[in-house]
Each structure stands twice: as structure tokens, then as C-alpha cells.
Amino acid sequence: MKNILFVSPTGTFDNGAEISIFYLMTALVKRGNKVINVAPGYQGEDKTSYQNKFKASGIDTYILPAGKWWWEDAPGGLPEDAKVRAFYYRENIAQIRQLIQENSIDLVVTNTVNMFQGALAAACESIPHFWLIHEFPENEFAYYLDKIDFIAEYSKEIYSVTGLLNQKLNLLFGEKDIKQFIPYSEVDASPLKKGEKIRFVSVGRLTERKNQLELLKAYHQSGKTDVELLLIGAQDEDYKIKCMHYIKKHNLKNVKLTGHLDNPWEELTDKDIFVSSSAMETFGLVYIEALLKGLPVIISDNPGYASAYKIFQEGEMYPLGDIEALSEKMSLSLETFTEQKQKSINKISEVREKYSIEFVYKAFIEEAEKIHGSEKKSVRHIENILTLNAGSSSSLKSEIKGVVKRMLLKFKKH
């Protein structure tokens, strides 16, 4: 039995990283391990339901007040001022260290590339640290290209989502072997409700990243606008305005937007065709969920979907950005719906076998459960800062200012 502490990125279940690793934590608990979870808390947030979900699975979750939980240059801007952010970074590392000591933690795991506190706390306590990476180092996550040396130095093991991301990171990290896992999410096995008519359905937040405008253009070009197109998911307001402008301009009367739904799959029927034009996915949980529901599927060939497709080999794929190709796939799916539907249903058992906790997290669980001994790292540049009394003097305030920059730059050199 091992005692394992996870550092989570958001303290919410509105992202694949939190959802998938929740199931990893529960699997570890079922195997007899003790697991605790830490996540950020910001003023005005209610984390009760998040904590209760973990508690029901035997996992204690500690919500740590934060200024900014992610790296300074990670997405999310710079809330508060530099002194406040630096203060909370220092406090959060100290709090994680205390949890390590009080719970005799054997291993710290950071879930997503976006936090460093767990790596530093583990180094200070001389215990192993694993890093789980879900993000391609591109666009808003390109910032972490500058952190590669630090991540490699302060991880005993690094795991990434399988497929193209794993291939890319193995090239970037050089001699460091980046292992892999498949993100997992439980899907309700109950059959979909009976539908009266065929629809196109897309599930995912309305954003530039999910790229629903490309789907709307293909839908219009297909000439099949008498068929309903249902867009399920919360909405980024600016992107929603773009989509609504296109819908109104082309008089697309059968497009419906639901907004956020707690359980989007309850809205789908056995007559639906799942379509996703997403511009970027790390893996694509929603694609697997659609397969497990026995839906005919059309997906873009973004890196995440392409990686998942290599494993499951089901559904239709089109070149991202090729509106004509997507339009043709949508038209063909209507013409051959009965055949595609039966093929999808026949594939469910195979998909389910490949998509089990035992299969997707096998390598990680084996490595985590055989961890033993200490992991010595050089931490002399921050040891004094981390053990200072936060209320001691005004000189501490100037010492805290810029602490993150000093920690990370100096760590990188040793």
C-alpha cells in the first residue's frame, strides 16, 4: 500500500484532466492505497460538491486558497499583484509539504503540466514526484516549452496522454522516457432513448478551440439543413456571437444551442450522428463516449482524435479545415445511417474492452505501487524561503516579491 498525493489543476469537473484522473485516484484506492488530493480555491467559490465526490470514493480533498495556482506565464492571466501571487505560491508549497509530512506520503503526482508546487514540495521532502501531461506545447500551452528542463529534473517519471502528444514530448525531452496513459471517464452504459428523427449532434463547449463554426459552415454547405443540428455545451460569449451571426446570416433555422447541461448524453437519442470539428484535443474523451453509446461518429483529424482513432479504429475522420470534406461526410452519413448505426453498435464491446481502467492506467499504477526510498534534489535556493514565518517582518514581503522567478530560474541551473 502506498500513500499518494495528487495536485489537481482546477478543483472542478469541467475539464478532461480532472475527470480522467479522478478515476485513476479511485482505482488506486480500490487497490488499497491511500490517496489525498489538493486543489485551488478562490474567493467566492463553493467546492463542496467537488470535495464530496472525492470523499464518496475514500479520497480526502484539501482546497488551498490560491493567488494563481498555475505557472505565472500559464493561461489565466495574472490575478492580484506580484506580491500576493508570490505569497500564495510560497504558502501552497508549504501547505503541501505539511500534508506530505502528516500523511507519510510516498509519492506526489501533479495532474497537468500547469503547476509546479507539487514538484517543489516533493523535492523539499525528498520523495518521488510523477508528472502527468495532458497538453500539447502549442498555442496557449506553448509557454511550457521553457519549462522542459525543470519538468525533467523534478520528475522521477513523466506520463503523457498516448499518441501524438507522447511522440512529441519524447522528442522534446530527449533522453527522458515519457511514458503514456489513456484518459479515462466512465460512460453511462444505459442505452440511449429512442429518437423520432435523425439529427447531427455535437457535444462540447462552444469555443474557438472546439471550432463549431467549421461545423456550421459544413452543415450549410451540405444542403441538409432540414436535419436538426444540436450543439450541446456551455458557451464562450464572444465565440457564441460569431456562431449566432453565421446562423442568422444563412437562416439556419434547425440549429439549436442548449447551453450547459449536467448530463449532455441524456439529450441524445439512438437516431443521432455525433459530429466534432474540434481544432485541438489532447485525446478526445467525447469521441470515446460517443463510440460507447453506439453512435455513428464523424471527427476532425486533430492530433488528439487522430491518436484515439488509431486505437479504436471506428467512425469517419475528415481533414481539419476541409469544410467540403466534412460536408460530404455529413451527407453520406445520412444516406447510409442504418448501415453505420449497426456497425457502431457491433463495435461497442471491443471499445469497452480497450477502454477500461485496468488497461488505460496499467503502467502508471504498476510504477506508483512499487515506489520506495527517497528522491534527493537540490533545493537550497528555496529552503529558507519556504520555512520563513509569513508574518514575521516587512523584509519578508520584499523577499517574497519575485519568489517564483527566483525559485524557477535558480532551480533550472542546478
Number of domain units in the chain:
2
If asked whether residues 219 and 117 sit together in one domain, one would say no
H, E, C per residue of the chain:
CCEEEEECCCCCCCCHHHHHHHHHHHHHHHCCCEEEEEEEECCCCCCHHHHHHHHHCCCEEEEEECCCCCCCCCCCCCCCCHHHHHHHHHHHHHHHHHHHHHCCCCEEEEECCCCCHHHHHHHHCCCCEEEEECCCCCHHHHHHHHHHHHHHHCCCEEEEECCHHHHHHHHHHCCCCEEEECCCCCCCCCCCECCCCCEEEEECCECCCCCHHHHHHHHHHHCCCCCEEEEECCECHHHHHHHHHHHHHCCCCCEEEEECCCCHHHHCECCEEEEECCCCCCCCHHHHHHHHCCCCEEEECCHHHHHHHHHHCCCEEECCCCHHHHHHHHHHHHHCHHHHHHHHHHHHHHHHHHCCHHHHCHHHHHHHHCCCCCCCCCCHHHHHHHCCCCCCCHHHHHHHCCHHHHHHHHHHCC
> Is residue 402 assigned to a domain?
yes
> Is residue 61 assigned to a domain?
yes
If asked whether residues 49 and 143 sit together in one domain, one would say yes
Distance CA 290, CA 277 (A): 14
If asked whether residues 55 and 121 sit together in one domain, one would say yes
Here the CATH number for the domain that contains residue 96 is: 3.40.50.2000
Beta bridge partner(s), residue 199:
228, 272
Last residue of a domain, one of 354, 371, 396: 354
If asked whether residues 180 and 49 sit together in one domain, one would say yes
If asked whether residues 32 and 73 sit together in one domain, one would say yes
If asked whether residues 43 and 139 sit together in one domain, one would say yes
> Is residue 222 assigned to a domain?
yes
Last residue of a domain, one of 354, 369, 403: 354
Tens-level pLDDT at each residue, the chain (414 residues)? 999 999 999 999 988 899 999 999 999 999 999 999 999 999 888 999 999 999 999 999 999 999 999 999 999 889 888 889 989 999 999 999 999 999 999 999 999 999 999 999 999 999 999 999 999 999 899 999 999 999 999 999 999 998 889 999 999 999 899 999 988 888 777 889 999 999 999 999 999 999 999 999 999 999 999 999 999 999 999 999 999 999 999 999 999 999 989 888 999 999 999 999 999 887 788 899 999 999 999 999 998 899 889 989 999 999 999 999 999 999 999 999 999 999 999 999 999 888 888 888 999 999 999 998 777 666 544 544 444 433 433 443 344 344 445 554 544 444
> Is residue 376 assigned to a domain?
yes
If asked whether residues 7 and 104 sit together in one domain, one would say yes
CA angle at 284 for the pair 281 and 289, rounded to the nearest 5° = 155
If asked whether residues 252 and 380 sit together in one domain, one would say no
The predicted pLDDT at position 385 comes to 43
> Is residue 293 assigned to a domain?
yes
If asked whether residues 340 and 375 sit together in one domain, one would say no
> Is residue 194 assigned to a domain?
no
If asked whether residues 404 and 345 sit together in one domain, one would say no
The predicted pLDDT at position 82 comes to 86
> Is residue 98 assigned to a domain?
yes
If asked whether residues 107 and 208 sit together in one domain, one would say no
Last residue of a domain, one of 304, 325, 354: 354
> Is residue 190 assigned to a domain?
no
Residue-number span of the structural domain to which 272 is assigned: 199-354
If asked whether residues 123 and 203 sit together in one domain, one would say no
Greatest Cα pair distance in the chain: 74
Closest CA to 66 of 384, 392, 404: 404
